[in-house]
């Protein structure tokens, strides 16, 4: 069963990044994003946003999808309110979007190709694993039912940290809860927003782009699908960093 993590000591942990080389196993934990990474739900969010704004009398421009993907609810919803001029408070819109998304996932929740296999492999080998999402706790708990909560030692929701993605707080919180060094964590993400958060925390990133392209860097490996990611692959990435 997953647990949540208190966000105290984030500042101390952040300041310690890079202060000393990590010891022990090169790969200490795997931290996984949720929407668009493990579950094929990025399209669900956009569909809900389109429907909600249609009910308010507004049509969303498809180009905005790249702006709101992967972002925290407050940023995405705030952008859409400003872009459309919709007369609705942010708090009220957030409730409508979460309600609409929950309705969607109550009937179907498709996993991304390779997700089930990767989670089973990490569990089988006892690799500490955390689910780290910008989605709210109410959404994460629903999705965990389908993903299998037993695969994760803990989960971190976007409404449980002082600052969510693209800030490092979610990944620093996960590392703190697992008792590992963020530098020795492999993060799997699908959006530029999530990648920025993981890299700001000092993690090595495997990016599996879902909506917009992501460019590889020295500490960021880009792959076309989770089907190419397994434990050997992740350990190899961390070994190359040494």
Please list the active-site residues. Answer: 33, 35
Task: State how far the Cα of 162 lies from the Cα of 198, in Å rounded to an integer.
Answer: 16
Where on the phi/psi map is residue 47: left (φ > 0), alpha (ψ -120 to 50), or beta?
A: alpha
Select from 149, 147, 125 the least CA-distant residue to 27. Answer: 125
- What whole-number distance in Å separates Cα of residue 131 and Cα of residue 33? 6
**C-alpha 188: how far from its chain's center?**
8
CA proximity to 56, closest of 22, 28, 83? 83
With H, G, I as helix, E, B as strand and everything else as coil, classify residue 226.
helix
> CA Rg, the chain, in Å?
17
Q: What is the DSSP pairing of strand 154-156 with strand 185-189?
A: unpaired
């Amino acid at each position: 069963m997953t647990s949540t993590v208190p966000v105290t000591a984030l500042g101390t942990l952040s300041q310690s990044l890079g202060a000393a080389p990590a010891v022990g196993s090169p790969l200490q934990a795997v931290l996984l994003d949720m929407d668009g990474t493990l579950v094929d739900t990025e399209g669900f969010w956009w569909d809900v946003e389109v429907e909600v704004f249609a009910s308010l009398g507004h049509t969303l421009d498809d180009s905005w999808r790249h702006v709101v993907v992967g972002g925290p609810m407050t940023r995405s919803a705030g952008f859409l309110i400003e872009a459309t001029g919709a007369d609705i408070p942010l708090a009220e819109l957030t409730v409508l979007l979460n309600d609409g998304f929950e309705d969607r996932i109550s009937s179907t929740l498709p996993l991304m190709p390779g997700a089930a296999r990767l989670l089973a492999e990490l569990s089988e080998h006892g690799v500490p694993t955390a689910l780290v999402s910008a989605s709210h706790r109410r959404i994460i708990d629903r999705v965990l039912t389908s993903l299998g909560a037993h695969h994760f030692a803990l989960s971190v929701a976007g409404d449980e940290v002082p600052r969510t993605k693209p800030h490092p707080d979610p990944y620093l919180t996960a590392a703190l809860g697992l008792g590992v060094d963020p530098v020795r964590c492999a993060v799997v993400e699908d959006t530029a927003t999530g990648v920025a958060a993981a890299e700001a925390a000092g993690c090595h990133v495997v990016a599996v782009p879902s909506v917009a392209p992501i460019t590889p860097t020295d500490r960021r490996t880009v792959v076309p699908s989770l089907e190419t990611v397994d434990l050997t692959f992740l350990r190899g990435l961390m070994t190359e960093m040494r």
